[in-house]
């Protein structure tokens, strides 16, 4: 295999720049060591600090200083979309994951029809493996009624959407 002179020159130049960068960075880092950790009794600031809580000793504390409380935004929706699909890879191949936020328009013993705010209406099939949560507690499919706002997540195969999770948020 023949080596091009330009390739060799580029490699030598890259190695020289890397060496120069290390030559300049290592003494600078040694002259300005990183700050030592704060004593365990002091509160450290964090970009997420607010009146509802702070980071302290590596844990979230609520506004009253109680450790172990969950983050105040734990119920926030991670996205604002109303429905969608994504192809995901699993050990057994590719699957079409799908989800929908909306209002229940019809419910039976095995199906659920949800209409999103943009007018899209999908019918979901539920089975014994479908997890249903209403107002923060486990529930059965028969506990859902038309008019409930829900998040449904599952998989689509052809025209069939199998619900894996149906969640009705807590009443406010």
- Judge whether residue 70 has pLDDT over 90: no
Comparing CA positions, the residue from 113, 114, 110, 105 lying closest to residue 147 is 105
SS (H, E, C) the chain: CCCCHHHHHHHHHHHHHHHHHHHHHHHHHHHCCCCCCCCCCCCCCCCCCECCEEEECCEEEECCCCECCCCCCCCCCCCCCCEEEEEEEECCEEEEEEEEEEEEEEECCCEEEEECCCCCEEEEECCCCCEEEECCEECCHHHCCCCCEEEEEEEEECCEEEEEEEEECCCC
Q: How many residues does the chain have?
A: 172
> Tens digit of pLDDT for each residue in 9-67?
677 666 666 665 666 655 555 555 555 554 544 444 445 445 555 555 555 555 555 55
What would be the CATH architecture of the domain defined by 83-168? Beta Barrel (2.40)
Q: Pick the residue with more confidence: 7 or 71?
A: 7
Q: Where are the domains of the chain?
A: 5-62, 83-168
- pTM score, whole prediction: 0.55
- Judge whether residue 116 has pLDDT over 50: yes
Query: How many angstroms separate the most distant Cα atoms in the chain?
Result: 75
Q: What is the pLDDT of residue 5?
A: 73
Tell me the C-alpha to C-alpha distance, in Å, between residue 34 and each of 37, 55, 58, 132. Answer: 9, 21, 18, 49
Comparing CA positions, the residue from 63, 153, 146 lying closest to residue 101 is 153
> Tens digit of pLDDT for each residue in 122-172?
999 999 899 999 988 999 999 999 999 999 999 999 999 999 999 998 765
Q: What is the pLDDT of residue 76?
A: 47
Asked if 18 contacts 25 with a C-beta cutoff of 8 angstroms, the reply is no
Residue 63: which residues within 8 A CB-CB, separation 6 or more? 51, 52, 53
């Amino acid at each position: 295999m023949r080596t091009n002179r330009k390739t060799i020159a580029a490699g030598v130049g890259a190695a020289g720049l890397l060496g120069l960068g290390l030559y300049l960075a290592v003494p600078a880092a040694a002259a300005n060591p990183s700050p030592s950790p704060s004593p365990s009794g002091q509160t450290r600031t964090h970009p997420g600090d607010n009146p509802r809580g702070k980071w302290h000793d590596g844990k979230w504390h609520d506004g009253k200083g109680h450790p172990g409380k969950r983050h105040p935004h734990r119920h926030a929706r991670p996205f604002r979309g109303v429905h969608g699909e994504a192809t995901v890879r699993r050990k057994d191949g590719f699957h079409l994951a799908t989800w929908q936020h909306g209002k229940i328009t019809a419910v039976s013993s095995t199906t659920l029809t949800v209409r999103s705010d943009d007018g899209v209406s999908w019918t979901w099939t539920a089975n014994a493996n479908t997890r249903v949560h209403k107002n923060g507690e486990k529930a059965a499919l028969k506990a859902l009624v038309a008019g409930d706002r829900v998040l449904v997540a599952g998989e689509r195969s052809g025209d069939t959407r199998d619900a894996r999770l149906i969640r009705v948020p807590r009443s406010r």
